[in-house]
Amino acid sequence: MVYKTDKEIESVIRKFEDCSLPKAEWTHAAHLTVGLYYCFHNPFGIAKNVMTDGIYRLNDAHGTPNTETSGYHETLTVFWMKMLASFAETNKDEKNLRLLTNKMLGFYDDARLPFKYYTRERLFSVEARFNYIEPDLADFTETIDNPL
């Protein structure tokens, strides 16, 4: 995904916030786009909480149950939000939303990145879905400091 205009990004944010973003458009890139926007404009704790609340609302709007096996996933959300917060901090002088978002998507377009740090069993455990858990394969703070 490559955004051609800021308006495309702003549309994703608006539709996420008003829960009009179709389920088919709630992609990995859309998750990252929204998360980066929040991380760029807020301290980490606020950005993470706004993202979490928004995902719950959007899941409800889509009829996606938040259970032990589907819907919101705390560890994945925290993992990606930490990556995005670090990226936003590293690129805080970039004022062009489109350039910033496209650059970020170039770094983090692979939704399988968490498996570099977590075993499948640990990441998809019930505990990981409801509570943030640390990785069991590698520490991702090095990746945060030096994006792929």
Task: Report DSSP letters for 61-100, one per residue.
Answer: HHT---SSSSS--HHHHHHHHHHHHHHHHHTTT---HHHH
Tell me whether residue 84 is in a domain: yes
Alpha carbon of residue 144 to chain centroid: 14
Tell me whether residue 44 is in a domain: yes
Domains: count for the chain:
1
Per-residue model confidence (pLDDT) at position 146: 47
Domain around 137:
6-145
| pLDDT tens, residue by residue, 99-127 | 999 999 999 999 999 999 999 999 999 99
Q: Which residue has the tokens 């939000």?
A: 81
Residue 142 pLDDT level (bands cut at 50, 70, 90): low
Put simply, whether the predicted model's pTM sits higher than 0.75 gets the answer yes
Tell me whether residue 1 is in a domain: no
Alpha carbon of residue 128 to chain centroid: 16
